[in-house]
């Protein structure tokens, strides 16, 4: 056990499996006391969408269930694994998309550990659909998880951080926050909301010794299996290009979990308002969005003819659509 976060207390939403589990265990390994979270206890049955799953070949069904089994679990399983490794953790089952439910996480931290220092929001929802076919329910489900659910957790916890003059907020987005190649505009919107909210939090909370950052991961999780199933069934890939993201080539979240640990510690006290891409061994920092092209009207306002004449100035430095993958790593 390390001591980088000794004496700190963290809430990690969505830590029953996947990225959340990896981060919760990494925090605990550095001495942090952790409140793990997901919506409800897992009954041991792997839920599947039978409308899709029953249409898979037997071979694909067997593959999917084998892969799903690697990822499923719940907050108590994660907490138990932390305790068995010598750390401290307690599970709190709560749906963060409900304001009062989200408050249970802070209550649990205060009841069990007396304070709250760190919030790592990872809980999310996920789905694929061309926008012209997207059901309202998918949009609502994804955007209620984040940024709304992330805000709810922060809202309940942040006054305690302000009162003690120290805190760390780390919100999980996705490379989809910048758009890209996936057919999931609802997910793009949710993650762009996370980034915008985090920018605002960083500016507002800096005076209180609280940092706020975002990481945008690509990692092998349960959602990766969902993507494989979608690509096999729909005849319309989850990616616009028709070239699916490689399942076998995607790294596990444990690869970069210690970067999140670092963000939560004293060494990162001056790092705030940043967005990081985390993909296996690759960690990149996004540039802060800025105006790079501009034009000015000659008179009090723009005529259409003047717009036609001058608009090239807006696009002289126009970048390509943002890539989904990392830039080449520097040696």
Lowest mean pLDDT among 89-103, 184-198, 208-222: 208-222
pLDDT at 222: 72
| Assigned token pair, 1 | 């056990």
Q: What is the mean pLDDT of residues 237-260?
A: 76
| pLDDT computed for residue 240 by the predictor | 57
Q: How confident is the model at residue 194 (pLDDT cuts 50, 70, 90)?
A: very high
Mean per-residue pLDDT, 107-115: 98
Q: Residue 254: which pLDDT band, with cuts at 50, 70 and 90?
A: very high
The Cα 256–Cα 64 span in angstroms is 25
Name the band, by pLDDT with cuts 50, 70 and 90, for residue 219: confident
Alpha-carbon dihedral sign for residues 30, 31, 33, 36: positive
Which element (helix H / strand E) includes 10? strand 9-12
Give the per-residue pLDDT at 330: 47
Q: Give me the pLDDT at residue 245, please.
A: 65
Give the pLDDT confidence of 57-68 residue by residue, as tens digits: 888 888 888 888
8 Å CB contact between 129 and 182: no
Please name the residue ranges forming H helices in 126-234: 136-143, 150-164, 185-205, 222-234
For the entire predicted model, the pTM comes to 0.88
Average pLDDT over residues 39-60: 84
pLDDT above 50 (res 278): yes
Res 244: pLDDT: 59
Q: Decide if pLDDT at 329 tops 60.
A: no
CB atoms closer than 10 angstroms to residue 62: 11
- 151-188 pLDDT, tens digit per residue, is 999 999 999 999 999 999 999 999 989 887 777 899 99
Q: Report whether the peptide linkage leading into residue 64 is cis, meaning its omega lies within 30 degrees of zero.
A: no
Element (H, E) at 320: none
Q: Are 89 and 34 in contact (CB under 8 A)?
A: yes
What pLDDT score does 233 carry? 63
Has residue 246 got a pLDDT over 80? no
Q: What is the mean pLDDT of residues 189-199?
A: 97
Residue-level length of the chain: 331
The answer to whether residue 328 scores a pLDDT higher than 60 is no
Q: What percent of the chain has pLDDT over 90?
A: 66
Q: Which residue has the higher pLDDT, 276 or 319?
A: 276
**Cβ-based neighbours of 19, under 8 Å, separated by 6 or more:** 122, 172, 217, 219, 221, 253
pLDDT band at 230 (very low <50, low <70, confident <90, very high): low
Position 64 scores a pLDDT of: 83
Helices (H) and strands (E) in the chain, counts: 12, 8
Q: Confirm if 260 and 23 have CB atoms less than 8 A apart.
A: yes
Question: d(Cα 97, Cα 309) in Å, to the nearest integer?
Answer: 48
Query: Coil, strand or helix: which one is 212?
Result: strand
| Mean of per-residue pLDDT scores for the chain | 89
pLDDT mean over 92-120: 98
For helices 222-234 and 58-71, what crossing angle results, to 10°? 160
pLDDT score, position 241: 54
45 Cβ contact list (under 8 Å, min separation 6)? none
- pLDDT, greater one: 300 or 61: 300
* 322 vs 252, higher pLDDT: 252
Going by pLDDT thresholds of 50, 70 and 90, the confidence category of residue 331 is very low
Question: DSSP letters of 12-76?
Answer: ETTTTSHHHHHHHHHHHHTT-EEEEEESS---S-----HHHHTTS-HHHHHHHHHHHHHH---HH
215: DSSP letter: E
Strand order in the sheet with 118-121: 88-93, 33-38, 9-12, 118-121, 167-172, 210-217, 275-279, 282-285
Average pLDDT over residues 283-288: 95
Q: Kindly list the structural domains of the chain, giving each domain's residue range(s) and its CATH number in brackets, ordered by start.
A: 9-285 (3.40.50.720)
Mean pLDDT of 47-64: 82
Q: CA torsion 35→277→98→8, rounded to 10°?
A: 20
Hey, CA dihedral for 304, 309, 310, 311, is it positive or negative?
positive
Given a cut of 60, is residue 271 above it in pLDDT?
yes
Strands 282-285 and 275-279, by their bridges, are antiparallel
Q: Averaged over 206-218, what is the pLDDT?
A: 97
Can you give the pLDDT at residue 325?
47
* Residue 30, token pair as written in the block: 């550095």
């Amino acid at each position: 056990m390390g001591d980088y976060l000794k004496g700190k207390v963290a809430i990690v939403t969505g830590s029953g499996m996947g990225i959340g589990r990896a981060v919760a265990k990494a925090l605990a390994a550095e001495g942090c006391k952790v409140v793990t979270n997901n919506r409800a206890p897992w009954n041991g049955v792997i839920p599947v969408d039978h409308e899709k799953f029953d249409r898979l070949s037997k071979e694909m069904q067997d593959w999917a269930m084998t892969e799903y089994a690697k990822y499923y679990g719940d907050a108590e399983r994660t907490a138990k694994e932390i305790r068995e490794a010598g750390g401290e953790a307690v599970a709190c089952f709560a749906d963060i998309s409900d304001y009062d439910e989200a408050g249970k996480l802070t209550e649990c931290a205060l009841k069990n550990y007396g304070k709250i220092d760190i919030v790592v929001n990872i809980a999310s929802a996920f789905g694929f659909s061309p926008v012209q076919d997207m059901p309202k329910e998918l949009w609502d489900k994804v955007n209620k998880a984040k940024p709304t659910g992330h805000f709810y957790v922060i809202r309940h916890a942040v006054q305690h951080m302000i009162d003690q003059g120290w805190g760390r907020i780390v919100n999980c987005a996705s490379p989809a926050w910048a758009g890209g190649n996936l057919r999931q505009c609802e997910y793009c919107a949710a993650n762009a909301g996370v980034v915008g909210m985090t920018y605002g939090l960083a500016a507002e909370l800096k005076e209180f010794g609280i940092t706020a950052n975002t990481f945008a991961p690509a990692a092998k999780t349960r959602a990766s299996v969902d993507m494989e199933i979608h690509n096999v069934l729909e005849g319309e890939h989850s990616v616009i290009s028709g070239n699916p993201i490689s399942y076998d080539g995607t790294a596990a979240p444990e690869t970069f979990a210690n970067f999140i640990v670092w963000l939560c510690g004293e060494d990162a006290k001056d790092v705030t308002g940043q967005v990081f891409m985390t993909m296996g061994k690759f960690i990149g920092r996004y540039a802060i969005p800025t105006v790079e092209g501009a034009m000015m009207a000659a008179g009090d306002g723009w005529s259409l003819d003047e717009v036609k004449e001058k608009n090239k100035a807006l696009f002289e430095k126009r970048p390509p659509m943002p890539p989904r993958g990392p830039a080449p790593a520097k040696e």
